[in-house]
Structure 1
Amino acid sequence: MHIAIDAHSVGTGLGGNESYATHLIEALAEIDGVNSYTLYVTRREAVERFTNRWPNFQVRATLPHTPFIRIPLTLGAELRKNPVDVLHVQFTAPPLAPCPVVVSIHDLSFEHLPETFKWRSRTQLRLTVRRSARQAAQVLALSEYARSDIINTYGISPDKVTAIPLAAPAHFAPVTDDREFQRVRQTYGIQSDYILSVGSIQPRKNLNRLIAAYSSLRRARPEGKLPQIVLVGKCAWLYDETLRTIKELGLSNSVVLTGYVPETDLPALYSGALCFVYPSYFEGFGLPPLEAMKCGTPVIVGNKTSLPEVVGEAGVLVDPFDVDDIASAIASVIGDSNFRSQLRAKGLERSRLFDWRETARQTLAIYRKAAGVD
């Protein structure tokens, strides 16, 4: 079987999409030395990362970068010149693909929360993703929540939509080296104990309520020094609302904004945190809480959409729309070392249920199904 994977997101720094493509490709290479793969990339970083690494993988660079132009035009033409048995894309498929297509749809936030997207982005996604899902041979979701949402929103047969969860890479593990903690603290300007949140700074990550919860804790403890809050992630659309909230609440010295952080630094940042808080109210999966659990960090997450599936009973679930609930959860975790130890143990155990090799095995089975190969 010859499998093509659209890996345009590798090298973009676009968080979840890039992480999914990168780690899926590397896991497929680890488990499958039989089938042939062609990786379609657009960035120099992707060419350098994948070229000549595995004998059954080849890399093809295509332009332009934007998937809304490249996938319908360039990629379709490439596949007609170089036929394959199945194509795997994220979100958007060529409208006249010359082979069966597997489409990964991470979530439908652009359908349910259009106000959190730029007009151009949400219009492009709404025009292409519904069509791609309906035309695809198979659709991959990241959670049972996302699977049900895709089926119900797009009216697709349940038989062709499969939930295959993500995993955290192997290098996410508890860090115990004090020198590594010191290094990341110096690198990112962290001056004390800290509460961590990881994810792009945008409205649905719900950071404004996290900051408001932190502010209420500070008012309740005028004599006690609270840990800093460290927000890791790129500033995305409407990020200025979060910056304005920080300034209005007088928290500029208490909130650390790191910007983009390379994946190699994340395990130490997770491991050094008192707790990890992810109050997002809309996720197709939610990888950062899993990364945190794998590093032994106590986790607090919103109780909406897919996050309860990921965390199970290994973390504290809160109403993401209730500032007091978020504040109470933070206070209970940072104020009780025994509770943190319990959460740490539960999180480590829970994280072992997720493995990229198993994700790759299940994905390969879907490729076979789409291509009609037993």
Structure 2
Amino acid sequence: MKIFFDHQTFSQQNYGGISRYFCELIAGINQPSSEHQAHLSLLFSNNAYLKEKSLRAWPFFPGQPFSRTQPYLYRLNKAFNLLEMQTRSYDVFHATYYEPYFLDRIGKHPVVVTFLDMIHEKYHPVFPELAADHLVMRWKKQIIERATAVIAISENTKRDLVDYYNIPPERVRVIYLGSSVAVDDKAMEPSATAPYLLFVGNRGMYKHFRPFIQAIAPLLRSHQIRVICAGGGGFSSDETTLLRQLQLTNLIEQQPINDDSLRELYRRALAFVFPSLYEGFGIPVLEAFACHCPCVLSDRSSLPEVAGSAALYFDPENPDSIREAVGRILDSPDLRQDLIRRGRERLQQFSWEKTVRETLALYRDLQ
């Protein structure tokens, strides 16, 4: 069976959970022992995960700001996709994002689309940035009407998808994700508990970084505990002003990351904190489990579904709830060790191998 993956995600991000997912899926399908073949139709990309998985693409002005080059990159890759759709043989088309540009050219080929979250639908009235990206919701509606099969990456995402687009639940198959970051248990050297909490990824909008920091500021000052923000870019002027007002300038820092440095940050942290209002799945939770890092999580969306009883939860819109949860994790080494143990056990339910296996089963059902 030949599966055609389009360019979209790899034309839109150099890092991130969506492209990580598709890289792992494509590479998993293309294992030497596999009877199936996944083709990624991509001419140019600076995505960091492609090289890791031996997926080819030409670099596209990597020294230039991505915001400047991305529109041209996207148009070139889209044109290349449309050409390859006419010249290559394939059995299934799997879209890597929601633009339905291919629907008029797809013919009778089965179309699969993965719904990663419903953030635009749920939070566009709250965050103007999401409302401005109105095309995404229009695209989703068009593509879901034509898709042969729909994947959701959590039961929570499936429920939201069914509710917002009024589609039969049986049209949606839930396939969980995995973790690409892990530590070697045998190679782990003993280390003193590091005096920091770890925040990973983007900090804007529904990620709820600002209210979270405001809630825990008294704890950070009294315990002299740092927060390390891994990835997500440097602090904005608004964030810098906030940290200065809260007297946290010396306690909160941002660090660029790669997989190796992220692994070490998880491993040495007191805890991973995730105050997000909405996640389609939450890959960082599995990364923390894999790196023996206790998790303190928002009790919203898919996070309780993924972490189960292996995390400490708080209401992200209640400052007292946030402070109480973070205070408990700071004050109790026994609780941290218990969550590490529970996280290792919970992680056994998720793997990229399982993601690949269940996705191939879905493809076969379309034949």
Q: Under a length normalisation based on structure 1, what TM-score does the superposition of the two structures give?
A: 0.84
> What SS does the aligned partner of 1:362 have?
helix
Q: Paired residues, what number?
A: 349
Q: How is 1:155-170 mapped onto 2 (pairs within 5 angstroms)?
A: 155-169=166-180
Q: Distance in 1 between matches of 2:362 and 2:233?
A: 35
Q: 2:212 aligns with which of 203, 207, 210?
A: 210
* Structure 1 residue 273: Cα displacement: 0.3
> What SS does the aligned partner of 2:325 have?
helix
Query: Which residue of structure 1 aligns with residue 65 of structure 2?
Result: none
Query: Which residue of structure 1 aligns with residue 122 of structure 2?
Result: 112
* Gaps in structure 1 of 5+ consecutive residues: 54-58, 183-191
Q: Distance in 2 between matches of 1:83 and 1:273?
A: 48
1:273 aligns with 2:275: no
Deviations 1:227-285 (A, max 9, x none): 2001112249x955444322221211100111x41122211110100111101111100
Q: Distance in 2 between matches of 1:71 and 1:113?
A: 30
Q: Distance in 2 between matches of 1:111 and 1:204?
A: 13
Q: 2:247 aligns with which of 237, 246, 250?
A: 250
Structure 1 residues 7 and 77, CA gap change in structure 2 (3 angstroms): closer
Query: Which residue of structure 2 aligns with residue 123 of structure 1?
Result: 134
Structure 1 residues 125 and 263, CA gap change in structure 2 (3 angstroms): same
- Is contact 2:196–2:225 with CA below 8 Å preserved after alignment? yes
Query: Which residue of structure 2 aligns with residue 310 of structure 1?
Result: 306
Deviations 1:209-230 (A, max 9, x none): 22112213246x3xxx422001
* Structure 1 residue 199: Cα displacement: 1.8
Query: Which residue of structure 2 aligns with residue 188 of structure 1?
Result: none
> What SS does the aligned partner of 1:30 have?
coil
* Structure 1 residue 120: Cα displacement: 8.4
Query: Which residue of structure 2 aligns with residue 3 of structure 1?
Result: 3
Q: Distance in 1 between matches of 2:208 and 2:239?
A: 9
> What SS does the aligned partner of 2:180 have?
coil
Q: RMSD in angstroms over aligned alpha carbons?
A: 3.0
Deviations 1:182-218 (A, max 9, x none): 9xxxxxxxxx611111121212111112211221324
Q: Distance in 1 between matches of 2:70 and 2:285?
A: 30
Q: Distance in 2 between matches of 1:293 and 1:116?
A: 31
Q: 1:231 aligns with which of 229, 232, 251?
A: 229
* Structure 1 residue 365: Cα displacement: 1.2
Please identify, of 285-294 and 24-33, the stretch whose mean Cα deviation from structure 2 is larger: 24-33
> What SS does the aligned partner of 1:9 have?
helix
Query: Which residue of structure 1 aligns with residue 18 of structure 2?
Result: 17
Structure 1 residues 18 and 79, CA gap change in structure 2 (3 angstroms): same
Q: Distance in 2 between matches of 1:31 and 1:153?
A: 41
- Is contact 2:274–2:298 with CA below 8 Å preserved after alignment? yes
- Is contact 2:29–2:37 with CA below 8 Å preserved after alignment? no
Q: Distance in 2 between matches of 1:253 and 1:108?
A: 36
Structure 1 residues 88 and 172, CA gap change in structure 2 (3 angstroms): farther
* Structure 1 residue 353: Cα displacement: 1.0
Q: 1:86 aligns with which of 86, 92, 95?
A: 92
- Is contact 2:45–2:57 with CA below 8 Å preserved after alignment? no
Q: Under a length normalisation based on structure 2, what TM-score does the superposition of the two structures give?
A: 0.85
Query: Which residue of structure 2 aligns with residue 185 of structure 1?
Result: none
Structure 1 residues 139 and 73, CA gap change in structure 2 (3 angstroms): farther
Please identify, of 277-286 and 129-138, the stretch whose mean Cα deviation from structure 2 is larger: 129-138
- Is contact 2:299–2:314 with CA below 8 Å preserved after alignment? yes
* Structure 1 residue 30: Cα displacement: 3.4
Q: Distance in 1 between matches of 2:164 and 2:10?
A: 28
Query: Which residue of structure 2 aligns with residue 176 of structure 1?
Result: 188
Q: Distance in 2 between matches of 1:21 and 1:320?
A: 30
Query: Which residue of structure 2 aligns with residue 145 of structure 1?
Result: 156
Query: Which residue of structure 2 aligns with residue 195 of structure 1?
Result: 197
Structure 1 residues 230 and 129, CA gap change in structure 2 (3 angstroms): same
> What SS does the aligned partner of 1:118 have?
helix
- Is contact 1:4–1:87 with CA below 8 Å preserved after alignment? yes
Structure 2 residue identity aligned to 1:249: L
- Is contact 2:8–2:95 with CA below 8 Å preserved after alignment? no
* Structure 1 residue 121: Cα displacement: 6.2
Structure 2 residue identity aligned to 1:105: F
* Structure 1 residue 74: Cα displacement: 4.3
Identical-pair percentage: 26
* Gaps in structure 2 of 5+ consecutive residues: 61-68
* Structure 1 residue 171: Cα displacement: 3.2
